[in-house]
Structure 1
Amino acid sequence: MAKKARARLLGVVVLLCGLLTAAGAQPAAADGLPGSLWFDEPAAATLTVANGRFTDGLGREVVLRGYNVSGETKLEENGGLPFASVADARKSATALRALGGGNTVRFLLSWAHAEPARGQVDTAYLAAATAQMQAFLAAGIRVFPDWHQDLHSRHLFDEDSWYTGDGAPQWVVEAGDYPKESCGICVLWGQNITQNEAVKQASYDFWHNANGVQDAFLVTAGTTMRYIREHLSTAEFARVAGFDPYNEPYAGSYDSGQTSRTWERDVLWPFYVKFRARMDTAGWQAKPAFVEPNLFWNANLDFQRQEGGLLDAGTLGSRYVFNTHFYDQKAISGIFMWGKAEDGQYAGDFGTVRDRAAAAGTTAVVGEFGHPLAGTVADKAPTVLKAMYQALDSRLPGSSWWSKPAGSGRVLSGTQWQWDIYNDRHHELMNGNPDKVLTTGDAWNDEDLSAVGLDDAGQPVLHQDARLLDRLYPSATAGTAVAFTFEDRSRDGSTTLTWNPVPTSLPKTAQLVGQGQYGLLLWRSDGTDAPTELHLPASFTASATTVVSDLGATAAPPAYTEGAPVAVAAEPGGTAARRLLLTAPDSGTLHYALVTNGASAPSASLLSAARDELTAWAAAKAG
């Protein structure tokens, strides 16, 4: 039986069982197509890990792209929730799709608000968090919740402190006997992790289950997961990708003779095994845990870097995802990197992430990456973020991509820090101090990293170049992605950053692309007759999108009809976002598709000539 037939049959069974509730149904798309095409059904949306990649219910290779929602959870002004209301959550979700191009969010949760008193889970908090989560699920966006902490707990810090934290409830801090917090001479808030004795000792106590605090956390985590599962429809839960057990784990301090690697093996990994068991009993047994290694595992400053990466955890397989963060500490320091980021700047760093996940028998997600948008190093942000997205797309710099695309590697999933619509509009009493009301930036330890904010009319607006954020990417590949690149032509001030120009050896392709944006995907089919999908940025308007592929060459691709080789449709969720659909129901064939907004009404002869060039190039370089 064909895979499409199996998927349809499963969708019919789900429908007949009454599991496709109205809450999970997709609204009609703006272009008149049904918002729930057969390949958008819950059976297809369900995400698993197989053969070292994210895979949907139709066997397609999935890439997760989006943002962290949101650092507002670290604050008290909205009670540890990302949003003040469900209406704000809906506004944020719609904007994330339409402006930010995301299909996934890492959704922050607060232990302090989930369990404000020991053994007493606040179901009102869980209900509010779940309702806000549903706003993103309804917009067709996948979600993976994250138990977030930084510097262990806000309650470690004095009212007049220079810094603050988030995570553990007050009763956890009161159960310990911690010194007065002090970071000494600290330039960045993160130095508290290794220099503030109160933070170090409290972190150590959590990992060693002092006063039973880790046990209490695991109980609350299990209760929370069960609540979410029971209060989402089947269609909604299908879009929940997994769960991140603990943000940025660090030992606090190591025992005598212990190393970062042995700490991961003997302390961190057993915690993840316990969390995984809680997931199973809460009804999340088919979803992976997004486990993070030691915070300093992949630091790009040598004096910070520590051995780790869950090296001794064995084969993680389908039950776990390797979930790491990456920030360019050299660039953030303002000392160790004086200039801007360049083509291929992070190819090695992100290549290490790919290799570590592959060695562990699973896939990877870069759960946080970003750069300050205000302050002394903000001028580096356009190039740093472009280089990070480039490294997510491919392990090759643009200068060598066209000459050896087969070395491009898997397209990495990633969620940028962060998406906070309240940026620059906060009202946060820092550490409860009425004399320290924070309103600017992220209102948290002088950070300002949000890609979005609200204008004076209350509408979401981007704080970064839309060409950088709203990207073309292969969200679902029917087969195996061989290589991918996207030249976003984003700006650094008035300078257009072009790191991957079409080579002069392909003159007709270069003419077609011109000064426009372009992406190019090569993939090998596996007999799946579901379409390959690429997210189309808003800059790829209906009239300006040109596709040149072995499947066909067309300007302004038509609306999707079943089996059409090249077509467009709305993204699931009823927003204005669109996707390109490429259908190739053969097996073992190398396919390619160039997608550009550079040409205006290109001639048939130019399309044909560019197709001939690309066909010969693909056969020679990647065949």
Structure 2
Amino acid sequence: MTKLRARLLGVLVLLSGSLATAGAQSAAAEDVPGSLWFDEPAAATLTVDHGRFTDGLDREVVLRGYNVSGETKLEEHGGLPFASVADARKSATALRALGGGNTVRLLLSWAHAEPVRGQVDTAYLAAVTDQMRAFLDAGIRVFPDFHQDLYSRHLFDADSWYSGDGAPEWAVDAGDYPDESCGICLFWGQNITQNQAVRQATYDFWHNANGVQDAFLSTAQSTMEYVRRHLTAAEFAGVVGFDPFNEPYAGTYDSGQTSRAWERDVLWPFYERFRARMDAAGWQAKPAFVEPNLFWNANLDFQRQEGGLLDAGRLGPRYALNTHFYDQKAISGVFMWGKARDGQYAADLGAVRDRASAAGTTALVSEFGHPLAGSVADKAPTVLKAMYQALDSRRAGSTWWSDPASSGPVLSGTQWQWDLYNGRHHELMNGNPGKVLTAGDAWNDEDLSAVALDDAGRAVLRQDARLLDRVYPSATAGMAAAFTYEDRSRDGSATLTWNPVPSTLPKVSELVGPGQYGLLVWRSDGTGAPTELHLPASFTASGTTVVSDLGATTAPPAYTRTTPVAAAPEPGGTGARRLLLTAAGPGAVHYALVTNGATAPSADLLAAARAELASWAAQRFN
């Protein structure tokens, strides 16, 4: 299977204009002992296969990272994610080394890509592509997103309480919209359903009034063509798909129309049109990351609407289910008192897994997060921990060890957001020189960025590194059967331990101690490529212990093809590291515990912990 896939991939690479020597270079690298032969376009290439993201080496892939960035919503840097390529490179290095990410959702602006109707601004596309390349060079996958919120900033008055982003001014001028007003609104998102200007403009887009949807699709195709032509084949392999439209909502339903009917009759045909534009632009092998109705997965009952692209049939390899998840109860400050708890979002993200499985595809949660300032900021440490826990597994920590087989697939996700300029903006809100925004994200009073610059210009985390820089299975040679990670992140001075090793595994518990640990169980497919787990910076070269059926060791050695348990740098030269586990033979169940809890554990302790884990795995995965 792997050899056939590699041959097919080679054909695609040649068709896309790759150097004819790529295959020879790969073969040569494979013959070099110790060479990281899997760091090639084949490893970066992503497809959807049998309900999972899969790379060109037939490994199950998990995408983890951040949105880059809300700066695109602002005008201060012309709708670009960064002021310069140098800042993009600084951000990429920090995102990998501090935030542990391997993927970014890179925001684009339709307003700046097509400022004049029918005229694509190639200078903007060139700048976007250069900033995209900064992440690709750091070994980080990218999927672009033509972002919009409240349709367009050009709907809003200079003295408005709120602002939007997305459509260019000419698209707003083409309609006849009332003066914007949200009435009594406590949150900017209420404009979606209460601001008549936003509702009518959104409705017009979905119904292609004045040809605005046609124009958007043409610009999207031109953008994709430009990106493909101006990246090398190896760089383009790291561009893994496209998010066609952020947080779609009808604006106004037609008479008698339901959310489900709107998805079927309006939203899905738009996605099919976008998919055709991807194909025409040379993106045939890359999935479209399609979002259902914004309120499909809301956790407030009065917001929740039927949907999830129920009538689109089996999405298959050309689409991936892409949704967002915010705890609106926690954000409201009214509907959830106190902090999030162990397993709080297991059902919410379990529904995402189930919907993707029923649609015959895989899932991605391309936005999740919680405010870091304001009256509900104290909930952020527990809310984010619970969200990451639910991405890792559909089991609460209290039940994971007793029923790991129902853990479900590990979900991909990109946190909102990663904005270097947090707290240092200079944004004229709606072009008003009397309303210069500098605080937070400089957009509708939001403050969610996981990163900022300190006074010396260095990128620093605004959240607990133990929470953000996580162990996760970035590539599994076969299929992940179960995964969990206990990050030991903090809520103030309290250490949050939601998944302690049970007392029935005393030697494993002794080995882990108070440290962090991750545990992956997977079924091998016999491929020669290794399974990879990201190692956080807290897992030092000498302080990392691995206990697996493949071997037990402290301070895993450098990778060679004959070393079953090893470590190596993450691609991109950012200083981040990964664990590499190479198993021989298909069909077997393997396990690997990685922890930083023990200091120089004895051989006897390693052997005893290995025996406990072997017995546990045999009982739970026979």
Q: Is TM (by shorter chain) over 0.5? A: yes
Q: How much has 1:491 moved relative to structure 2?
A: 0.2
Tell me, yes or no, if the aligned pair for 1:3 and 1:528 is still in contact at 8 Å.
no
Cα distance 1:16–1:552, how it changes in 2: closer, same or farther (>3 A)?
A: farther
Tell me the SS of whatever aligns to 1:584: coil
Q: Is 1:142 paired with 2:148? A: no
Residue 20 of structure 1: how far off its partner (Å) = 7.2
Give 3-state SS (helix, strand or coil) of 1:221's partner. helix
CA-CA distance at 1:243 after TM superposition: 0.2
Mapping of residues 406-421 of structure 1, within 5 Å: 406-421=405-420
- State the match for 2:30 in structure 1: none
Look up the match of 1:157.
Answer: 156
Q: 1:621 deviation in Å?
A: 1.5
1:396-411 matches, cutoff 5 A: 396-411=395-410
Q: Which amino acid counterpart does residue 103 of structure 2 have in structure 1?
A: T
CA distance in 2, matches of 1:299, 1:5: 39
Give 1:301's aligned residue. Answer: 300
The one-letter amino acid of 2:237's match is A
Stretch deviating more after TM superposition (162-171 or 39-48): 39-48
| Residue 585 (structure 1) shift | 2.1
Q: Tell me if the contact between 2:17 and 2:233 (Cα under 8 Å) persists in the aligned partners.
A: no
Q: Give the whole-Å Cα distance in 1 for the aligned partners of 2:103 and 2:206.
A: 30
Q: Tell me, in whole angstroms, the C-alpha distance in 2 between the residues paired with 1:117 and 1:609.
A: 69
- 1:556-593 CA-partner distances (Å, limit 9, x unpaired): 00000112100000001111000000000211100000
Check if 1:328 corresponds to 2:327: yes
Measure, in 2, the Cα distance between the counterparts of 1:90 and 1:446.
Answer: 27
Kept after mapping to 1: 8 A contact 2:6/2:56: no
User: Measured at CA, do residues 20 and 300 of structure 1 come closer, stay the same or move farther in structure 2, by a change above 3 Å?
Assistant: farther
Distance 2:5 2:230 in 1: 30
Q: Name the CA distance, whole Å, in 1 between partners of 2:43 and 2:504.
A: 41
Distance 1:17 1:232, change over 3 A: closer
In structure 2, the residue matched to 1:29 is none
Distance 1:605 1:444 in 2: 56
| In structure 2, C-alpha distance between the alignment counterparts of 1:509 and 1:309, rounded to whole Å | 41
Residue pair 1:489, 1:496 contacting (<8 A) in 2 also: yes
**Hey, what does 1:492 align to over in structure 2?**
491
* Distance in 1, Cα, partners of 2:431 & 2:18: 50
What is the match of residue 350 of structure 1? 349
RMSD: 2.0
Instruction: Find the aligned partners of 2:230 and 2:117 in 1 and give their Cα distance.
Output: 24
**In 1, distance between residues paired with 2:512 and 2:355?**
36
Q: Deviations over 1:23-47 (max 9, x none)?
A: x99xxxxxxx99x721111123210
Question: Shift of the alpha carbon at 1:5?
Answer: 11
2:120 aligns with 121
2:206 counterpart residue number: 207
C-alpha deviations, 1:77-116, integer Å up to 9, x for none? 0000000000000000000000000000000000000000
Q: Which residue of 1 aligns with 2:379?
A: 380
* Letter in structure 1 aligned against 2:491: D
Quote the residue 1:28 is aligned against.
Answer: none
3-state DSSP of counterpart to 1:337: coil
**Distance in 2 of aligned mates of 1:250 and 1:399:** 37
SS of the residue corresponding to residue 39 of structure 1 reads coil
Q: What does residue 188 of structure 1 align with?
A: 187
Deviation of 1:122 (Å):
0.2
2:513 maps to 1:514:
yes
1:568, 1:251 → 2: CA distance? 49
Q: Distance in 2 between matches of 1:207 and 1:581?
A: 47
The one-letter code matched in structure 2 to 1:100 is: G
Q: Do the aligned partners of 1:111 and 1:169 also contact (CA within 8 Å) in 2?
A: yes
3-state SS of paired residue (1:352): helix
What CA distance in whole angstroms lies between the structure 1 residues aligned with 2:304 and 2:381?
Answer: 25
| 3-state secondary structure, aligned to 2:534 | strand
Counterparts of 1:17 and 1:171, CA distance in 2: 39
Q: Which residue of 1 aligns with 2:165?
A: 166
Where do 5+ consecutive residues of structure 2 fail to align? Answer: 27-32
* 1:156-305 equivalent positions in 2, closer than 5 A: 156-305=155-304
TM-score of the aligned structures, taking structure 2 as reference length: 0.96
Other-structure match for 1:18: 19
Whole-Å separation in 1 of the counterparts to 2:287 and 2:452: 32
Q: What letter is aligned with 2:240? A: A
- Cα distance, 1:212 vs structure 2: 0.4
1:150-171 Cα deviation digits (max 9, x unpaired): 0000000000000000000000
The equivalent residue for 1:40 is 39
Q: Are the aligned partners of 1:47 and 1:56 in contact in 2 as well (CA < 8 Å)? A: yes
1:18 offset after TM fit, Å? 2.7
Spell out, residue by residue over 1:342-376, the C-alpha distance to the aligned partner (whole angstroms, 9 max, x if none): 00000000000000000000000001000000000
Distance of aligned partners of 1:20 and 1:457 in 2 relative to their CA distance in 1, 3 Å threshold: farther
Is the CA contact 2:51–2:361 (under 8 Å) kept in the aligned structure 1?
yes
Question: CA deviation digits over 1:449-468, x for unaligned, max 9?
Answer: 00000000000000000000
Question: What's the counterpart of residue 29 of structure 2?
Answer: none
Contact 1:353 1:364 in 2 (8 A): yes
Residues 518-566 of structure 1: CA deviation (Å, up to 9, x unaligned): 0000000011110000000000000100000000000000000112100
Q: Secondary structure of the equivalent of 2:96?
A: helix
SS of 1:38's equivalent in the other structure is coil
- The amino acid that maps onto 1:519 is G
Task: Please say if residues 523 and 591 of structure 1, whose CA atoms lie closer than 8 Å, have aligned partners that are also in contact.
Answer: yes
Distance 1:532 1:351 in 2: 25
Do the aligned partners of 2:287 and 2:320 also contact (CA within 8 Å) in 1?
Answer: yes
Change (3 A) 1:289 1:303: same
Q: Which residue of 2 aligns with 1:470?
A: 469
Q: What's the secondary structure of 1:220's corresponding residue?
A: helix
Give me the whole-angstrom Cα distance separating, in 2, the residues matched to 1:20 and 1:67: 34
- TM-score computed with the length of structure 1 as normaliser: 0.96
Distance 1:185 1:5, change over 3 A: closer
Match of 1:582 in 2: 581
Structure-1 separation of matches of 2:444 and 2:496 = 31
Offset, 1:7: 7.5
Match of 1:505 in 2: 504
In structure 2, the partner of 1:569 is 568
Query: What CA distance in whole angstroms lies between the structure 2 residues aligned with 1:248 and 1:10?
Result: 36
Name the % identity: 80
Partner of 2:596: 597
Q: Does 1:433 align with 2:398?
A: no
Matched position secondary structure for 2:350:
helix
- The 8 Å contact of residues 342 and 387 in structure 1, kept in 2 or not, is answered as yes
- Contact 1:19/1:234, CA 8 A, preserved across alignment: no
Q: 1:169-226 CA deviation, whole Å, 9 max, x = no partner?
A: 0001101100000000000000000000000000000000000000000000000000
Q: Does the 8 Å contact 2:18/2:232 carry over to 1?
A: no
2:104 alignment partner in structure 1: 105
Output the CA distance in 2 between the equivalents of 1:17 and 1:618: 44
Structure 2 partner of 1:539: 538
Partner of 1:77: 76
Q: SS of the residue aligned with 2:572?
A: coil
Secondary structure of the 2:223 match is helix
Separation of aligned partners in 1, 2:8 and 2:314? 33
1:44–1:57 contact (8 Å) kept in structure 2: yes
Q: Does 1:67 align with 2:66?
A: yes
Contact 2:103/2:414 (<8 A) preserved: yes
Shift in CA distance, 614/7, structure 1 to aligned 2, threshold 3 Å: farther
Work out the CA distance in 1 between the residues paired with 2:20 and 2:556. Answer: 35
Q: What residue is the counterpart of 1:528 in the other structure?
A: 527
User: What are the superposed Cα offsets for residues 46-102 of structure 1, whole Å, 9 maximum, x if unpaired?
Assistant: 100000000000100000000000000000000000000000000000000000000
Task: Say if 1:20 and 1:235, in contact at 8 Å, map to a contact too.
Answer: no
Task: Give how far 1:4 is off.
Answer: 11
CA distance in 2: counterparts of 1:368 and 1:104, whole angstroms = 13
Once residues 17 and 202 of structure 2 are traced to their aligned partners in structure 1, the CA distance between those partners, rounded to angstroms, is: 50
Q: State the distance in 2 between where 1:481 and 1:328 align.
A: 27
Q: What is the one-letter code of the residue matched to 1:410?
A: P
Shift of 1:8: 13
Decide whether the 8 Å contact of 1:107 with 1:144 is kept in 2: yes
User: Gaps spanning 5+ residues in structure 1: where?
Assistant: 26-32
Q: Secondary structure at the match of 2:91?
A: helix
8 Å contact from structure 1 (residues 107, 143) kept in 2: yes
Q: Distance in 2 between matches of 1:2 and 1:338?
A: 51
Q: 1:3 to 1:612 in 2, by over 3 A?
A: farther
Tell me how far apart the structure 2 counterparts of residues 297 and 20 of structure 1 sit (CA, whole Å). Answer: 47
Is the 8 Å Cα contact of residues 68 and 107 (structure 2) preserved in structure 1?
yes
Distance (whole Å) between structure 2 residues aligned to residue 438 and residue 272 of structure 1? 35
